[in-house]
Structure 1
């Protein structure tokens, strides 16, 4: 009967100052890219969608929570059959979540993907951080 050897432990990634010169150059390019105007514009475009949409969703969610906690009479209003206002609010939370995901996908496709491709290409071509 043959015995199996235990698997080799994974090798840790190289630390700072280790690795090939190409790895060091790409790391330096990535760090330099943070000050590149193209990257700054991309980041600003991303944040201009994420922050307002996150705040709007949190406000909508907190409205649901507070109304459930403090406006029980209103939330227990029967709309039809066994469906009350609280149930409709709860289902609308899911609808809102999917709606935001669809909006983000569209926004990303129209405004972020092209700019991200330009930034990625600049990094791959060694143009990181120069803004050319």
Structure 2
């Protein structure tokens, strides 16, 4: 426990040692695993999707130039889908963070800030 006096009702300010202890806790390791379970596959998906778009633009000119409707071609549609994908991934991450990450991180924070530590 810290030797620093806190006003009544103020959260405990964790020490460096307490932060290191929290990082090594099973709860924090679970939080990291949960984050990685979403971030790594989603990052790989988006990078592959973007690379396919760039490679099609560089090497499949005829395919990208196929007219879909008026002056709208496959290249424009795929380019706009890059934006759609970005917003979709952002929305999925926000939902994932609210549902899976925030409760776990809040529990860790509450434990660190509590005056009485187990």
TM-score by length of 2: 0.85
1:29 equivalent among 18, 24, 34: 18
Alpha-carbon offset, residue 47 of structure 1: 0.8
| Pair 1:72-2:67 in alignment | no
Alpha-carbon offset, residue 21 of structure 1: 5.5
| Moved beyond 2 Å, runs of 4+ | none
Alpha-carbon offset, residue 120 of structure 1: 0.3
Q: Over residues 20-67 of structure 1, what are the superposed CA-to-partner deviations in whole Å (9 max), with x where a residue is unaligned?
A: 964x95211111111100001011101110000000000000000000
Question: 2:68 aligns to what SS in structure 1?
Answer: strand
Contact 1:68/1:75 (<8 A) preserved: yes
Question: 1:79 aligns to what SS in structure 2?
Answer: strand
Show the 5 A alignment for 1:2-81: 22=4, 26-81=15-70
Unaligned runs of 5+ in 1: 1-19
- Cα RMSD after superposing both structures: 1.9
Structure showing greater radius of gyration is 1
TM-score by length of 1: 0.77
Distance 2:71 2:15 in 1: 61
How many residue pairs get aligned? The number is 109
| Pair 1:114-2:99 in alignment | no
Q: Over residues 88-113 of structure 1, what are the superposed CA-to-partner deviations in whole Å (9 max), with x where a residue is unaligned?
A: 00000000000000000111111111
